[in-house]
Amino acid sequence: MSRLLIKHGRVVDPSQRLDEGLNVLIVDGKVARLAERIEDKDAEVFDATGLVVAPGFIDAHVHLREPGFEYKETIATGSAAAVAGGFTSVCCMPNTQPVNDNAAVTEFIRGRAGEAGLTRVYPIGAVSKGLQGEELAEMGEMVRAGAVAFSDDGKPVHSSYLMRRSLEYAQMFDVPVVNHCEDPVLAAKGVMHEGAVATRLGLRGIPAAAEEIMAARDVVLAELTGGKLHLAHVSTRGALDRVREGKSKGVAVSCEVTPHHLALTDQAVADSEFDTDTKMNPPLRSGDHVEALIQGVLDGTVDCLATDHAPHHADEKVLEFDLAPFGIVGLETAVPVTYDLLVRKRKLPLRLFISLWSCNPARLFRLPGGTLKVGSAADITLLDLEARATVNPDRFRSLSRNTPFAGLRLKGWPAATLVGGEVVWRRERR
Ligand SMILES: [Zn+2]
Ligand SMILES: [Zn+2]
C-alpha cells in the first residue's frame, strides 16, 4: 500500500467549504483522511508549508493536436505542459486529423494519454462527421469509449438544425454540447476584433455581434430541447448577457472564459506591432468587453475558466498577421495569469478562484475530481501564492511557444501537481 502524507498545507476545498490548516493522508491514490494532525510512520511526507492544497485543476478546453499534427503538440507533450501548469485533468477538442468523430479515435487518445501517464485526458467528440457540419457523428459510441462532451470547436455548429439535433441527442447521455459561437458569414475572414484599433491598423475585424448572435440562437435551442449547452471561450458582453438571461430562465446553459480574454485587450495587437501571438479566435476584445467578462466572473455568470490551449509551430506563427493561424498556448501560464488578475487585482475570493478551475468544470462535464472528499481520487493542485516568476517560453513543456505572455512577471504559481496520489510534477526551486 502506498501512503503519502501532505503536511502543513492550507487546504482550500470549496466542495466541502474547507479553508484551514489540515494534513491530507493519501492511501493507494485516494484521499483517506483530512485532519489537523495526522501521524503515519509508514507514509512518505510531502511538506506543503506555505502552500495551498486544492482539488486538482481541470482545463475543459485544450487542443492536443494528436493524431495528425504532432509537430505542434503530442498527447505526451501536452500532458507534460498540463501538469506543469497545475492541471490534473484536461478535456481535448476533436479537431485532429483524423477528426475524433468515432470510437476508434476516442480510444486512441485515451490510450496515448494512459501511456503518457501524467494528466487525465478526457476526449471531447465531434458533433458532426469530419467537422463538416452536416451529419451527426456517432455520439453514442464515442460516449461509450470515453467522450465527455461534444463540440465542433475550431468551427461553429453553423446549422441550427444540427445544433438542435446534437442537443437532443447529447441529452440522452447527459453530456453537454460545447459550441464555438461565431456567425461565420458575419465574421467574414476577420483577423481581429472589429473596432477602433482594427480600423487604425487597417485589419479586417470580427464584430462582437458574430458571437452574440450564435450565443443567442444556442440559448434558444437549449431552451427548446432541454439539452445541456456550454459556450466555449465567451469573449463579448453580449454573449455573456445571453448566458445570464438563459440562466435566469432556468435554461441549462454554462460558459467558460479564457485567461487571455480576461487579461488582454485588442490594443495588444497594436502594442506588440502585429505579434501573431495576439491573434486568436475569438479575438482579443476591447476594454468594455473585457470588463464585462471580469464582472461575469465576479458575479458568477461565468462557470469556469479554460485555456483553449492551441499550440502552433513557430514557422506557422511567423507569417504576416493576416495569414498566421489563430490560437495561443495556455496551459503553462493560465494559473498565474488568472490568479494575478482575478484574486490579487480584482479581489476574487480564493475559494471562488479554485471553484472556477476545479469544482465547476468537474460538475459541468461530470468528471471525477473537483473535490478532496475522503474516498475521492487524490488529484491535487498545490499553489504557492507568494511565488514570483517571469513567464519564460523556453522552459515550456509544450512543443509550442506561441504565447503573448512571454516576459510577464506574475505572482502566484502552481507548486506541484498530484494525479491519483502520485507527484507528477513539482516546481523547481529558483
Ligand atoms: Zn473555438
Ligand atoms: Zn478551441
pLDDT per residue of the chain (430 residues) written in tens, 0 to 9: 799 999 999 999 999 999 999 999 999 999 999 999 999 999 999 999 999 999 999 999 999 999 999 999 999 999 999 999 999 999 999 999 999 999 999 999 999 999 999 999 999 999 999 999 999 999 999 999 999 999 999 999 999 999 999 999 999 999 999 999 999 999 989 999 999 999 999 999 999 999 999 999 999 999 999 999 999 999 999 999 999 999 999 999 999 999 999 999 999 999 999 999 999 999 999 999 999 999 999 999 999 999 999 999 999 999 999 999 999 999 999 999 999 999 999 999 999 999 999 999 999 999 999 999 999 999 999 999 999 999 999 999 999 999 999 999 999 999 999 999 999 999 986 5
Ion ligand 2, residues whose Cβ is below 5 A away = 153, 308
Nearest one of 332, 309, 384, 310 to 85, comparing CA atoms? 332
Ligand 2 center from residue 95 Cα (angstroms): 9
Cα 110 to its chain centre, rounded Å, is: 18
Which of 266, 308, 340, 379 is an active site residue? 308
Q: 391 vs 57, 355, 388, 394, CA distance in Å?
A: 20, 24, 10, 9
Ligand 1 center from residue 330 Cα (angstroms): 14
Active site residue 322: no
Strand boundaries in 233-370, DSSP class E: 253-257, 304-305
Ligand 1 center from residue 326 Cα (angstroms): 10
Instruction: Dig out the grid coordinates for 107 from the structure.
Output: 480510444
Ligand 1 center from residue 145 Cα (angstroms): 23
Ligand 2 center from residue 382 Cα (angstroms): 26
Ligand closest in space to the Cα of 154: 1
Contacts of 423 (CB under 8 A, 6+ apart): 4, 46, 416, 417
Ligand closest in space to the Cα of 233: 1
Q: What are the residue ranges of helices labelled H in 91-236? A: 103-116, 139-145, 160-171, 184-187, 196-201, 208-225
